[in-house]
Amino acid sequence: MKILFMGTPEFAKASLECLIKNNCDLIGVITQPDKPAGRKMVLTPPPVKELALASNIPVYQPQSAKSGEFLELLKTLNPDIIAVVAYGQILPKSVLDYPAYGCVNVHASLLPKYRGSSPIVAAIAAGEKTTGITTIFMDEGIDTGDMILQESIEIGENETHGELHDRLANLGGELLFSTLVHIQNGTAKRQKQPGEGALYTKKIDEKLCEIDWGKTAREIHDKIRSLSPSPAAFARLDGKKLKIYKSEIIQPGEKKSTLDVLCEGGVVRILEVQPEGSKKMSAKDFLNGRVTNVNVVGDGVLDVPSNTE
């Protein structure tokens, strides 16, 4: 079965690695064009492209999957199936209908929950205890196709987006390979997604990243870890952003050892931060470098006298 792989970021790279390791018949990789990255805006290839080239797999980087040129490329490659993992563009019906076995997608949630582009962030921010991977036959909707395989994993109490992302990426590769085997063997089962319980994720913007200290300790902690390491939740200190990467919840009365914020339902202990214009550091090092302690009052982070307990 000739497989055309479509994907772009690190999450997709794990799936491509799994297919390569299992000696799948990969006829090509479609990925997004190289983009400027870093302070010097150096033109940088996507992670999937780097892996494909290192594995001697042909790489194609069309500007749009909706163009006539892309459809002509499909006719030239003539894949039996297209595997799509975090490609970054919506595929038109002409592409979805082209391969004999259709297009399959790896999605990082237990569908129909958390459809859309930020399912890992959404699951953690909502305080979910479990999430997982779902493979689907793609249709014209956003993550609405018939389900093929689904597997769940637990989310750790303090697990960050970055940590969960890596575990789900590896699981996604395994489930994609199993899905392709089932399709090739004619044993793949299609299951319609339930009409109830469908949720769509929001686009991550700066407004979503700012911490509202009026929320409960649990909600704040979940926001912090859902956005770590990027783009990172933040508070404001001296008119500047203070990014917060790690936290935990403790109970009022526990010995104070770092930056603790009393919130409804508990205390958020901040463990790792990055002041604007500085490097990432532990909360302890951050406090040691300040003349005053830090306390949260109202809707922002304010300085208070250093002898405040």
pTM here is: 0.91
Of 147, 117, 126, nearest to 9 (Cα)? 117
- Look at residues 173, 201, 198 and name the one whose alpha carbon lies nearest to residue 117: 201
The per-residue pLDDT for range 79-98, each reduced to its tens digit, is: 999 999 999 999 999 999 99
Say what the pLDDT of residue 171 is. 98
Read off the DSSP letter of residue 46. -
The CATH class for the domain spanning 3-185 reads: alpha beta
Residue 118, token pair as written in the block: 């930020």
User: Domain limits of the chain?
Assistant: 3-185, 206-304
For residues 47 and 166, give the distance between their C-alpha atoms in angstroms, rounded to a whole number.
14
Q: What are phi and psi of 242, to 5 degrees?
A: -120, 105
CA 145 centroid distance within chain: 20
60 vs 63: CA distance, rounded Å: 10
The whole-angstrom separation of Cα 154 and Cα 241 is: 32
Helix extents (H) in the chain: 10-21, 47-54, 68-77, 93-96, 119-125, 161-185, 206-209, 217-226, 283-288
Residues 6+ apart with CB under 8 A from 206: 231
Superfamily grouping for domain 206-304: Formyl transferase, C-terminal domain (3.10.25.10)
Which one, of 145, 153, 142, lies nearest residue 191 by Cα?
A: 145
Note every long-range contact of 128-134, with CB atoms under 8 Å and residues 24 or more positions apart, other chains counting: 128/155, 129/154, 129/155, 130/154, 130/155, 131/155, 131/164, 131/168, 132/168, 132/171, 133/106, 133/107, 133/108, 133/109, 133/168, 133/171, 133/172, 133/175, 134/106, 134/107, 134/109, 134/110
Q: How far apart are CA 73 and CA 28, in angstroms?
A: 11
Q: What is the pLDDT at residue 246?
A: 97
Helix (H, G, I), strand (E, B) or coil at 292: coil
Per-residue pLDDT of the chain (309 residues; tens, 9 = 90+): 999 999 999 999 999 999 999 999 999 999 999 998 877 788 899 999 999 999 999 999 999 999 999 999 999 999 999 999 999 999 999 999 999 999 999 999 999 999 999 999 999 999 999 999 999 999 999 999 999 999 999 999 999 999 999 999 999 999 999 999 999 999 999 999 998 889 999 889 888 999 998 999 999 999 999 999 999 999 988 788 999 999 999 887 776 666 888 889 988 999 999 999 899 999 888 888 765 555 544 344 433 333 333
**Containing H/E element for 249?**
strand 240-250
Q: Which two tokens stand for residue 292?
A: 């005053």
Query: What φ, ψ does residue 231 adopt, rounded to 5°?
Result: -85, -10
CA trace torsion 209, 211, 215, 217 (10° rounding) = 100
* Pairing, β 81-85 against β 3-7: parallel
Contact 99, 71 (CB under 8 A): no
Task: Let me know: does 165 contact 9? Beta carbons within 8 Å.
Answer: no
Rounded Cα distance between 268 and 68, Å, is 53
d(C-alpha 143, C-alpha 116), whole Å:
7
